[in-house]
């Protein structure tokens, strides 16, 4: 998931943007799913830790 570091350990909805088949297997690229109004993510990211 692009920019997915902040979502590690969470279950989120994503939009698949690309699928690449290689000899080692399949790589699936995605980004967090946008809200239906296009105003941004439909979930709250976790707070930043210091």
Percent of the chain predicted with pLDDT > 70: 70
Maximum C-alpha span of the chain? 41
Kindly provide the b/e burial profile for residues 33-48, where b requires at least 16 CB atoms within 10 angstroms of the residue's own CB. Answer: eeeeeeeeeeeeeeee
In angstroms, the first-to-last Cα distance of the chain is 23
Q: Please determine, for residue 23, whether its predicted confidence score (pLDDT) is greater than 90.
A: yes
What average pLDDT score do residues 20-26 get? 94
């Amino acid at each position: 998931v692009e920019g997915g570091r902040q979502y590690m350990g969470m279950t989120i909805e994503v939009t698949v943007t690309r699928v690449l088949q290689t000899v080692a297997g399949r790589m699936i690229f995605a980004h967090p799913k946008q809200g239906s109004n296009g105003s941004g993510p439909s979930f709250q990211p976790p707070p930043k830790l210091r």
